[in-house]
Structure 1
Amino acid sequence: MSNNKMNLIGKELYRKSVHILLTIILLLPYLIHLPWPLTLNNYYATGLFLAAFINSLVARRGKVLGELKKFRENIEGIIEKTNKELKQPLFLVEQAVSKLQEIISTQISMLERDYEKREGYVGLLYGMIGATLSILVSPETTVYGLLALATVDTVSALHDLFFNNRQKSLRGSFLALIVYFFILVLVGSPLLSSFLLSIIACITEYISPEDNLTVPFVTTLAALFVGMPLKPPL
């Protein structure tokens, strides 16, 4: 396997790990009681705000990184002119700003998909919009939408990556369907309803221009219509 292929696989595995971690964070209200003063609504509202803020930050990353660079250079100029006692703390500030530059640049590079490099980082924002809309329309079935968000895209994308498919494949979607179906059964869902919901979730992922937005929302609504057990947040 070529180094380029290995790098591509490593980057995709990292992206999907972050994707799953963020979905688990979205699932927390269904796993634990949120501490005061958090409620379901303000928990998701805060997440949506942070996603929008990160999106705006990444969309303007050139300016942000440029300002950080300028700030670091100003600190370096001050260090050269100041006395010995102040040089060490200023040097630590300069190192911290430099490290922040590096972290922002590296994380953006690791998380961005090809089209996001042209249009701005939108995956996180669309995922939060899809999840928040799901909570608004049916909090009792949102858990199914979130499980689909974590599973369907991840499984199909990794399958296609390992089998050298440049685009979505039916085989990858079929594998995602099987995995999602077994997850639903494991959490106690009826077989027929689980199978129907798995089909809907995978078709949505396959045809959608932005699956982070559509998969959680469509699956949440579909769970109502196929008779999935209601699972309200704790």
Structure 2
Amino acid sequence: MLKFAANLSMMYTEHAFLDRYAAAAADGFAGVECMSPYEAPAAFVRERLDAAGLRQVLINTPVGAAARGDRGLAALPGRQDEFRAGLEQALAYADALACPQVHVMAGLAPDGAPRAALLDCYRENLAWAASQARACNVTLLIEPINTRDIPGYILNRQDEAHAVAESVNAPNLKVQMDLYHCQIVEGDVSAKLRRYLPTGRVGHLQIAGVPLRHEPDQGELNYSWIYALLRELDYRGWIGCEYRPAGATSDGLGWLAAARA
């Protein structure tokens, strides 16, 4: 059976952050993910997680100075100390929440920065981070993100992400494959799934409707086809529902029952 995790950074925003755990459980989710649990102490988040009977399956590393436009630090030369501090914070939350996966945000390319230097920094930081995460039994994920939603983001394509993961060659570094981003940048989603899922290097999937990032049953991607393909390929990981509901979150969950049928 396919396993769907509610993304509490985008879904249930009609509730305060900590109250979203109970709301997701009430709608039948067994797992949740979020970009930034850091707005609440880890102990408070764990209390709500346990009370709702949910599993925290994914969090992100801190993005850096969000007010100044940061979208991650892992590929930014000169900011290694900030990256390491953020990674340590993420691992502390992952430990407190029994969360097995952390998405490491790459960041935006500074104006004029040579791409080769950014990728060198990225690989070095990921190698260090993977060694730290391995001691905590945590898998790190890197995600290609489309440049329409985050202009200037350093990692945009599936082949780029897999090349980075292969070059770092850490068993606990995998790719987070967001089908919304993949469709916008590359298309040919079914072929990408057939190519990459059998490699074992995809640690997590995410879904959303394209192009408006609403419920997955809205837009140009045929998710019924994709769910059948995931069953054919025997995908056993979580599927994060990283979309912005078109209305009240619970009112738009008809797609979930159909996907589970």
Query: TM-score, with normalisation over the residues of structure 1?
Result: 0.28
Which of structures 1 and 2 has the bigger CA Rg? 1
More strand, by proportion: 2
Larger relative contact order (CA 8 Å, sep ≥ 6): 1
TM-score when normalising by structure 2: 0.25
